[in-house]
Structure 1
Amino acid sequence: MANRKKTGGSRKRNHEPAAVRFGKDKKRGGGPKKRLNSNSSNLGDGTTRLNKFIAHAGVCSRREADELIQLGSITVNGKIITEMGYKVKNTDIIKHEGETLSHNELFYFAINKPKNFNSNCDNPLKERTVGRLVNKATKYILSPIVKLERDSTGILLLTNDNDLYLKLSNPKHEFEKIFQLELDKPLKQEDLEKITQGIRLPSGGWAKAESISYVKGNQHTIGVEILNNKPKILTKIFELLGYKIKKADRVSFAGITKKNLSRGEYRKLSEAEITQLKMLG
């Protein structure tokens, strides 16, 4: 059973299906889909900032971890570390006041993020954050995988599995994300087709939707399937065509949906879902 948290105001269950499955107006982009390849995933240099490691071990928030480091309460391989920004490897032994810290217990959650909530989880006591909504789920600090904007809603995955977080958050990797958008004006058919063909970005790159459709014939409400993992990519695409996104709701993330989750509710991922995420490729 999902855990319910108070988010203020009335809460209605959202039974909207993935919008791109609707109607006859669907357009699909050409060419094969590019999927995340776990064998070639770029995890940087394989290190983690010490303050983040401490936070994810459930000791405290990342900001409080900085204070512990400055006070000389943290050792790495027997050496006191007071340097801000210090990075550690998986093989390092990190201790807080003599107690070895570890991330042996891994957690994976899905939450239906409410509007006007920050996606961050590093300070679970801060009001109107996802971290506050799930603060009783685990003692560990969780990381949001591909954050949603503050005014966006929908499915958001949280974990303390750093390898999975780094793999799925990497902007170079692509996998399915489905959004339902409400625009400030009707989307023209020619612009709908441009989005599936590809839009040149000011940076020189290209971005496109894998599929896009009007929801139940309403040209203000759009269902979009996109693989691109770069921040605010949908906002950029629609702004280049002269539209503003009034509402954005992520209904599916890598095949995991918000089904049966009201706004602010969360649940643990099933073993099958966790395996599905780890095998993306």
Structure 2
Amino acid sequence: MKENKSHSGKKKTEEIQEELTRLNKFLSHNSNYSRREADKLIEEGRVKVNGKVVTNLATKVSSKDEVQIGKKNIKEDKNKIYTVIVYNKPKGEIVSKKDPQGRKTIYDSLEKKYKHFLSVGRLDYASEGLLLLSDNVEVVDALMHSDLERVYKIKVNGVISKSVEEAMQNGITIEDARTGAHKNSKIKSMSFAPFLAYDIQTNGEKYSKIKVVISEGKNRELRRFFAHFGLDVLDLKRLEYGGISLNNLPTGKSRFLTKEEYKNLRIFMNEDDRSI
């Protein structure tokens, strides 16, 4: 069998490129600095690569390069076990490092050692419940863009009608889904996949309570969905994400994953040829 040399050469070049990592990403993965903090260190000339100071934020490195912050060597630890925590977010906190309006963020409540952790998606200011955070970008991206089950408990100001149930069962495309969205959102049209499951716990004229299971994580998805039927979401709490649940975790508190949860997470990551 003849080998396509040009194709083979291209493949080898791509493999070499894949081994290169942005310097700020390398630093955030192998130190306690966030990417933004790593960028600042680079700009200040405090980072060396192979003995030379680098200030270019686009610099890429491989595992063979010698990287230093000051006199400290930063080495890649391929066997590093990255940390994932569960936070029971209360209402009235922003899932962001800083808020221009000066509102409280989750990082004001979390311990300082978690300040560089990234959140798996978001819960808006008025929502509460389970929020996953990790110090590993690949883990965060994989979880955020997965179709893992998300379980929510919701309270709306009216009746769950047959048309609402039909939309939950069959899915729906809403051409103007701005109602229920953040005022600055640029997303107008939105398609909603069928809910994986739902349980109407209370159904009344003044309010209804429902537990839903979905596999998406779109911008204010549930608030937009119910708003289309004239229902305002009064309360929204996330109970589970990918089999990880709040259990008895108090509001405003965090915990590490259990051994079983870590085991399941590793299985999930390995399916994408990645591991933590």
Report the TM-score, using the length of structure 2 for normalisation: 0.71
* Pair 1:274-2:262 in alignment: yes
Q: Which residue of 2 aligns with 1:70?
A: 43
Distance in 1, Cα, partners of 2:103 & 2:234: 24
> What is the number of equivalent residue pairs in this alignment?
232
Aligned counterpart in structure 2 of residue 96 of structure 1, from 64, 69, 87: 69
Q: Deviations over 1:218-276 (max 9, x none)?
A: 55222110011333222232233332222210011111111111101111111210121
Q: Structure 2: which 5+ runs fail to align? A: 1-17, 176-188, 272-276
Distance of aligned partners of 1:276 and 1:189 in 2 relative to their CA distance in 1, 3 Å threshold: same
Q: Secondary structure at the match of 2:86?
A: strand
Give the TM-score normalised by the residue count of structure 1.
0.69
Counterpart amino acid of residue 273 in structure 1: E
Partner of 2:211: 223
Match of 1:146 in 2: 121
- Residue 134, structure 1, aligned to residue 110, structure 2: yes
Structure 1 runs not aligned, ≥5 long? 1-44
CA distance in 2, matches of 1:55, 1:76: 15
Q: Report the identity percentage.
A: 26
Choose between structure 1 and 2: higher helix proportion.
2
- Shift of the 84–199 alpha-carbon distance from structure 1 to 2, 3 Å rule, reads same
1:19-39 CA deviation, whole Å, 9 max, x = no partner?
xxxxxxxxxxxxxxxxxxxxx
User: Alignment partner for residue 187 of structure 1, among 150, 160, 168?
Assistant: 160
**Residue 200 of structure 2 is aligned with which of 214, 218, 222?**
214
* Change in CA separation of 1:266 and 1:90 when aligned onto 2, cut-off 3 Å: farther
User: Displaced runs of 4+ in structure 1, greater than 6 A?
Assistant: 45-48
Q: Which has the higher contact order (CA 8 A, sep 6+)?
A: 1
| Cα pair 2:21 2:60 within 8 Å, conserved | yes
Contact 2:159–2:203 (Cα < 8 Å) also in 1: no
Larger deviation, residues 222-231 vs 58-67: 58-67
SS in 2 for 1:248: strand
Contact 2:86/2:130, CA 8 A, preserved across alignment: yes
- Distance in 2 of aligned mates of 1:226 and 1:47: 36
RMSD: 3.1
Task: State the structure with more CA Rg.
Answer: 2
* Cα distance in 2 for residues equivalent to 1:225 and 1:61: 33
**Match for 2:143 among 164, 168, 172?**
168
Secondary structure at the aligned position of 2:48 is classed as strand
